[in-house]
Amino acid sequence: MANKSLKKNYIFNVTYQIILLIAPLVTAPYISRVLLAEGVGLYSFSYSIVSYFVLVATLGTTTFGQRAISYVQNDKEARSRAFWELFIFRFILSVVTLVAYVPISLTVFHENYLIYLILGLNVLNVAVDVTWFFQGLEDFGKTVFRNIIFKILSIVAIFIFVKEQSDLPWYVFFMVIFTIVGNMSLWLSLPKYICKVKDVKPFRDVKSILKLFIPTIATQVYLVLDKSMIGWFSADMAENGYYEQAEKIVKMAMMVVTSLGAVMIPRISYMFKTGDMERVKYYLYKSYRFVWLMGVPITLGLIAVSSVFVPVFFGAGYEKCEILLPIFSSLVIFIGLSAVNGMQFFVPTGKENVLTMTVTVGAVVNLLLNLIMIPMFESLGACIATVVAEFSVTLVGFIYISKTKSFKLKPIFLGSIKYWIAGIVMFGVIFLVKYFLEINVITLIILIVIGIAVYSVMILLLRDKFVLELLFKVFGKLKRKKTVETGEIAEIISETVTSENSENVDNQ
């Protein structure tokens, strides 16, 4: 199973991640106009509260499970034992968490108890979700088809039943229930991969799970706490609505960049387990390059089109998103790079403590800035705090890699130069063209098409080697893939050695 195609798995995972957000993205223009910023804000705040309970129910088991299955993916009995132990562990945690959550939702949040009870089903979803198992097997195709079906059904249901602001509970219900049913349907495929085993110990790996839970808590601080704090410190629930909508677009964009990570975790884990460190470095360098290739144009593109995108996509009443979206856009690059550091290097190579350190720094920075800036600037303050926190996570990760000499950073950043050149040219063209056009759907489409075309042409003119190699592979011009990859590994090592020699000369 370790020989599964990375290209296919990446395509599957990109599709999967996009589908997870495709329903709110497709329905966002409709929902923003029906529920208004206040309704969207209430959903955002309520979801942030429920997320803490989902966090406890999950307890870091998703990443741990993916890695654990990847280690034993070729041994049916071993992977079956790993599956049953983790499933039982997650089930127990979910039940306990749900028992605690229900009375809290009925008392503390009694004003909107129906919304909170419906969202509480997300805790139950942790118990039935076995996506981590198939990801550990590097079998991403299983999840895609089912999610397409159920996400389409959720979109149809939302357009049929959500007609006015009072229909918010229906919107919440459809967002939750179709996800649960989709995850439950994956169980139909499980008998092919697992069998009955003895000596099942659900709490065997508690210590290892907790190691991953700590960074998950820290990450949650600046992924969810910001929305909670906006709700606590702001008198207007619409502030959460502005924040939610701007973040939603950036999250959608980030999935294109970070989706490679889920594919790489089992592959790098397997290579590390077999001692193939050269291959580990090869995949890491390619991942960083991919982040620059996709992250730079997405970031600069969002900044350039935000003044057109927001009024066209969300409608009137969301003008503040025109300020939030450009600031948020930098997260595409920061999170993309930190995801490679953390999920593709620290986790697969057993350095969870380093991941914990980086995200803890980010969480502390985010919390402190939130306390200072949200009372003053509301959603804008939370937005700035999140960006600074993510930058700190990325910075600390690279500092550790540099200090420990795990691998050289110079090739990573030098490899981004051509993408920045192409991105800046693209930004300038879009920025110039949009001032000659009216704000409407056609203009938005024109700007996006122009941006893609200009960036693509610039990359080809600059003859970026990484892109040219991808094109050659797509069109079948590289017939001996194994030979080419071996040559690329040697080239990366050669470039690193050359970089080291140059630095030594400079130091002398």
Number of other CB atoms surrounding residue 230 within 10 Å: 28
Tens digit of each residue's pLDDT (9 = 90 or more) over 64-106: 877 788 777 777 888 888 888 888 999 999 999 999 999 988 8
Cβ atoms of 443 and 437 closer than 8 Å:
yes
Choose among 505, 14, 92: nearest CA to 254: 14
d(CA 344, CA 263): 9
Tens digit of each residue's pLDDT (9 = 90 or more) over 272-294: 666 667 777 777 888 888 899 99
pLDDT score for 489: 44
Cβ atoms of 263 and 286 closer than 8 Å:
no
pLDDT score for 262: 57
Residues 6 or more apart whose CB falls under 8 angstroms from that of 205 comprise 64, 68, 85, 86
Please give, one letter per residue, the 3-state secondary structure of 105-117.
HHHCCHHHHHHHH
d(CA 387, CA 300): 15
Please give, one letter per residue, the 3-state secondary structure of 383-404.
HHHHHHHHHHHHHHHHHHHHHH
Average pLDDT rounded to a whole number, residues 93-121: 90
DSSP state of 285: H
Tens digit of each residue's pLDDT (9 = 90 or more) over 444-486: 999 999 999 999 999 999 988 878 877 776 666 445 444 444 4
DSSP state of 412: H
Structure tokens at 323: 């300020």
Written as one letter, the residue type at 300 is L
CA 380 to chain centre: 22
d(CA 111, CA 235): 16
Whether the pLDDT of residue 506 is over 70: the answer is: no
d(CA 97, CA 141): 31
Query: Which residue in the block uniquely carries the two structure tokens 């920061």?
Result: 334
Angle at alpha carbon of residue 117, lines to 114 and 119, rounded to 5°: 110
Tens digit of each residue's pLDDT (9 = 90 or more) over 336-378: 998 888 877 887 777 878 888 888 898 889 989 999 999 999 9
| Most confident listed range (133-142, 193-202, 303-312, 405-414) | 303-312
Backbone angle region of 200, left / alpha / beta, with phi > 0 → left and psi within -120 to 50 → alpha: beta
Whether the pLDDT of residue 324 is over 90: the answer is: yes
Cβ atoms of 95 and 127 closer than 8 Å:
yes
Residues 6 or more apart whose CB falls under 8 angstroms from that of 127 comprise 57, 90, 91, 94, 95
Cβ atoms of 203 and 64 closer than 8 Å:
no
Tens digit of each residue's pLDDT (9 = 90 or more) over 172-198: 999 899 889 988 888 888 888 888 888
Going by pLDDT thresholds of 50, 70 and 90, the confidence category of residue 411 is confident
Going by pLDDT thresholds of 50, 70 and 90, the confidence category of residue 248 is confident
